Structure 1
């Protein structure tokens, strides 16, 4: 009965994580399969390892290797890496069975709550990050700052130049900036401004 209760807690937690938090905010359907698959797989195998004579450390080490391979084979944002490991952690908590049902449920709730707050659009709503392709090769910071001032509708906080192409006369730069106006739903910057292309 206690094992079924932890399974039910895991089912509720991963459902909230995937269908109430991640998908409504990011709309990547293929990652739902990854999160649910990782959670179910970790839950099943961890439960089997606990019930057998196999060393638990060996099983967790195998999970770590598989996770690294998966993360290296798919381009993920940092927030998606957080969801990925949250799904894995929920499966571990549900499958280990070494804690009480109440403590397991509390730990699962903490994981879900942390992601709900950290990934909320209301957390630092004015801060933005975008990859911008400028129409011009800017080798010095002064000219780069002047070009970005015409493109970015806010105060530039940090820039990281990814590539300066002198042949094609372009500059790819990672821009972190703060909005000076009220952010609007679905507004992700000035992609239609002249002289630059917003890539992300």
Structure 2
């Protein structure tokens, strides 16, 4: 009876996690299939290992290797990877011999934490983009100003992934807040003159492009 309650709790939690939390927010049907299959597979293996003579650590280690290979077959975001491990944890708690007083609250805790941490209220208004610019920007202030003008928001952080002086390009990962002041960098005084706002700075090479 205890095993059936644990199985039912796992089924309820994985349905809530996939259909009530993940799917309405991310709209990827293929990942729903993956999470459900992953959870049921972990549940089946952990249940079988709990009643067999095979060492549970060995079996779960082999299953972990297979899961890592599956995760490496496609580039997934950190959020989708977190859902993967939530499904894994739910399957383990439902399959191993853990008292219901521990397993069911822990399952509910996993779903609640995943739901809250993936809420739109966490980091609201911030976006992340990988941007390729058609010019090499070795100067950080000019780079932030150019990104702010093109993305139309306040630049929060910039991570340069590739600075190519041969092809005159810059590849950056940028986090920004749309609709705020462009650039996100302080005004800079040039040759002792009054500070020039980011939005009014001339981007080098612009006149030549217009001419």
TM superposition score normalised by structure 2: 0.80
Deviations 1:119-174 (A, max 9, x none): 01121212221112223221221221221121233321211111233444332210
Instruction: Name the structure 2 match of 1:72.
Output: 72
Give structure 1 regions of 4+ aligned residues with deviation exceeding 4 angstroms.
Answer: none
Instruction: Name the structure 1 match of 2:117.
Output: 118
* TM-fit CA distance, 1:11: 0.5
> What is the number of residues matched between the two proteins?
181
TM superposition score normalised by structure 1: 0.84
Instruction: Name the structure 2 match of 1:152.
Output: 151
Rounded Cα–Cα distance in structure 2 between residues aligned with 1:78 and 1:12: 24
Rounded Cα–Cα distance in structure 2 between residues aligned with 1:150 and 1:168: 22
Rounded Cα–Cα distance in structure 2 between residues aligned with 1:112 and 1:74: 24
Deviations 1:26-50 (A, max 9, x none): 1122111211111000100100000
Residues 131 and 174 in structure 1, CA contact (< 8 A), matched pair in contact too: yes
Secondary structure, counterpart of 1:79 in structure 2 = helix
Q: Matches of residues 1-200 of structure 1 in structure 2 within 5 Å?
A: 1-100=1-100, 102-180=101-179
Larger Cα Rg: Structure 1 or Structure 2? 2
Secondary structure, counterpart of 1:148 in structure 2 = helix
The structure showing larger relative contact order (alpha-carbon pairs under 8 Å, at least 6 residues apart) is 1
**Two-structure CA RMSD over aligned residues (Å):** 1.7
